[in-house]
Structure 1
Amino acid sequence: MLLARFSLAALFTVLSTAALLAEESPNQLSSAEQKQGFELLFDGTDLTGWQHAGNWQVADGAIERTGKGGDLVYEVKPVPDDFELRFEWKVAPGSNSGVYYRPGQYEYQILDNDRHPNGKVPDTTAASLYYCIAPSHDATKEPGAWNTGRIVCQGTVIQHWLNGEKVVDIDYTDPKLTAAIEKLKKRGATLDSRGAKLKLQDHGDPVWYRSIRMRELNGHEELDKSPLKGS
């Protein structure tokens, strides 16, 4: 009887561990994400659905930039008006890239903050709404380590997350943001424009992406409104 109990306990541990690993494996949807309606945009094996000039490839389950040629564009369908995008990214020392998600260069900055010149300017550091809104704090990991990124857009609200921490949370109709939004307009943004293709930037530096998944929001999702760190 004792042996049977031990065997059942051991089996339960193995199954639980396997389930946990499955949930955390890259390029897979967790059971929760499946229920939430996420779609996997990259399966870890090839670049089906993505357009590029031969300068991006798949290696070890990740997308990597291999040379000059331009950005990597997801051509299957446009980014929804209201959406949540989750992804993982890492950079080499000194690297710069970005994730574009709306017309007019709405960009989630990808950067080695410590070694790239953009890291000296708050509104061009990693996870910023590039050139417009600085992250509340630096939550990046060292080059070579995987970071988790998240973008949530619903109506006039834009949130950027980095490694599980919310670092940007704005409503672009807020009068206090007028100066910052003017900078966004200089980059070609019309605030009510939608329908861009998701794009990963080729900025000439080594960069890697994986676990890219997206879902459409219904426009009435209850968003996280907790205060930003340090606010």
Structure 2
Amino acid sequence: MMKKIVITAMAAIVTISAWAQEPKWENLFNGRNLRGWEKLNGTAEYKIEDNAIVGISKMNTPNTFLATKKMYSDFILEFEFKVDDGLNSGVQFRSNSLKDYMNGRVHGYQFEIDPSSRAWTGGIYDEARRGWLYPMNYNPEGQKAFKNGEWNKARIEAIGSTIRTWVNGVPCADLLDNTTMSGFIALQVHSIGKAELEGKTVAWRNIRILTQDLGQFKTPEDNKVKQINAIANTISGREAAEGWKLLWDGKTTNGWRGAKLDNFPEKGWSFENGILKVHKSGGGESTNGGDIVTTRPYKNFILKVDFRITEGANSGIKYFVDTNLNKGEGSAIGCEFQILDDRRHPDAKLGVEGNRTLGSLYDLIPAPKDKPFRGGFFNTAMVVVKGNHVEHWLNGVKIIEYQRNNQMWEALVNYSKYKDWPNFGNAEEGLILLQDHGDEVWFQNIKIKELE
């Protein structure tokens, strides 16, 4: 009996010891030299000073990166950083430099270092690829974490498709993405366009990485931090719990039909690699494949659509659509979140005070000129409908809100191209539409959350 008790006690001690073990950190910088690192792309200088790596900005050079020679997949990375005011920088992770991709240009995830008033330090940027994946306007509390002119502590947890960041212990980004699962770590000295920025510095120290027992040492999930799911055409566990559903599955035409058809158009639209494309056909309104609509109406909802416009393109996302209103030529009738290349398409200069520009409630309410549009990349449009209250959002920023079914709404409609359509925009529910305006536009991540 005594022997059994002793064995049990020893097993308990071993178990406690296993759980109490310290994380096995690996130092990426020895404080003396740059062994294990190599410089890529640019010609900015890196030097060692007071046990820190110091990057020095330089004119007439592209972004310069000091990269680890070793590749990392799942890890927890910690480092301290300090940056001069006016200089933008970042730390790459799961990044690569490949001959067959932009002639070796460094690309991949970047932890943003941003001392400007924008305050996006801790956000996640996809360098030389998709642009912003987690801009910090998604997390206002996280924007307050960075201390200008001081040493700051950063933490990045990249485990599977979950990527999270912290600045000075404050959670910043929470991203789901699986585009690149392995790559190097790199310290960035950003290119500069002004001579007065030459010689400014960004420094890093106490750079260490953990690659073992990550499940034991990862930070518990914080549902208060907004999570962005960048895995195309999927619903995350958190999204499912919140009631989100895909409106397009990324593979079939299920749930969609032509606005003036009983089935999906046989031409003018295609989908490949999870991207739904309306084809270029001369710029005419609904003259090729025609608009497509959902097969059922929606009442109160939050709609998200990722879109990418080609040069000079015009399209739109419509809601409260009634396909019985317009049986003739042209697009189906409904309220429209305008999709437009404002710089190149003539429609941007028509209408009243810019109410035909990107993000506007087309021909009714203009979006602001300084909206956060990212040319050449996918952008996220969001439409929120709660009864008569409607909002337009672009990349996490609210750009329009309005009330319908009132006198002001009627006055707006009567001064627009919709004045001849009875009770325009006042329907309790309607279909959701993607517009064929004869230009190539890409769509993905079309999802909806119905509200009570």
* Fold shared by both chains (TM-score > 0.5): yes
CA gap 1:174/1:35 in 2 versus in 1, 3 angstroms? same
Matched, 1:42 2:260: no
Aligned position for 2:357: 125
**How does 1:5-154 map onto structure 2 within 5 Å?**
5-6=23-24, 13=76, 16-20=159-163, 21-22=176-177, 23-51=229-257, 52-54=264-266, 55-66=268-279, 68-75=288-295, 77-79=296-298, 81-103=299-321, 104-121=333-350, 122-137=354-369, 138-142=371-375, 144-154=376-386
Q: Is the 8 A contact 1:85 1:151 kept in 2?
A: yes
Matched, 1:197 2:431: yes
Report the AA paired with residue 78 of structure 1.
P
Give the Cα–Cα distance (whole angstroms) in 2 for the partners of residues 204 and 164 of structure 1: 28
Identity of aligned residues (%): 30
Q: Is the 8 A contact 1:108 1:127 kept in 2?
A: yes
Give the Cα–Cα distance (whole angstroms) in 2 for the partners of residues 48 and 147 of structure 1: 24
The structure carrying a bigger strand percent of its residues is 2
Pick the aligned partner of 1:186 from 419, 425, 439. Answer: 419
Deviation at 1:136, TM superposition (A): 2.6
Let me know the Cα RMSD of the aligned residues: 2.6
Q: Is the 8 A contact 2:301 2:386 kept in 1?
A: yes
Give the Cα–Cα distance (whole angstroms) in 1 for the partners of residues 447 and 400 of structure 2: 20
CA gap 1:42/1:187 in 2 versus in 1, 3 angstroms? farther
Q: Is the 8 A contact 2:387 2:428 kept in 1?
A: no
Give the Cα–Cα distance (whole angstroms) in 1 for the partners of residues 378 and 23 of structure 2: 40
Deviates more, 1:162-171 or 1:64-73: 64-73
The structure carrying a bigger helix percent of its residues is 1
CA gap 1:184/1:45 in 2 versus in 1, 3 angstroms? same
Q: Tell me the alpha carbon deviations over residues 99-154 of structure 1, each in whole angstroms, 9 at most, x when there is no partner.
A: 11113421111111110012224100111111101113333221x31010000011
Q: TM-score, normalised by structure 1?
A: 0.81
CA gap 1:39/1:141 in 2 versus in 1, 3 angstroms? same
5+ long unaligned stretches in structure 1? 219-231
Give the Cα–Cα distance (whole angstroms) in 2 for the partners of residues 196 and 187 of structure 1: 19
Deviates more, 1:181-190 or 1:125-134: 181-190
Report the AA paired with residue 132 of structure 1.
L
Give the Cα–Cα distance (whole angstroms) in 1 for the partners of residues 75 and 302 of structure 2: 34
Q: Tell me the alpha carbon deviations over residues 51-83 of structure 1, each in whole angstroms, 9 at most, x when there is no partner.
A: 2322211122110013522112221x212x111
Q: Which has the higher contact order (CA 8 A, sep 6+)?
A: 1
Deviation at 1:45, TM superposition (A): 2.0
Deviation at 1:204, TM superposition (A): 0.4
Q: Tell me the alpha carbon deviations over residues 19-63 of structure 1, each in whole angstroms, 9 at most, x when there is no partner.
A: 233432121123332122111111222222222322211122110
Report the AA paired with residue 65 of structure 1.
V
5+ long unaligned stretches in structure 2? 1-17, 26-72, 77-156, 164-175, 178-228, 258-263, 282-287, 322-332
Number of matched pairs: 213
Deviation at 1:185, TM superposition (A): 4.4
SS in 1 for 2:438: coil
Q: TM-score, normalised by structure 2?
A: 0.43
SS in 1 for 2:373: coil
Q: Is the 8 A contact 1:100 1:107 kept in 2?
A: yes
Matched, 1:166 2:407: no
Deviation at 1:15, TM superposition (A): 6.0
Larger Rg: 2
Give the Cα–Cα distance (whole angstroms) in 2 for the partners of residues 56 and 27 of structure 1: 18
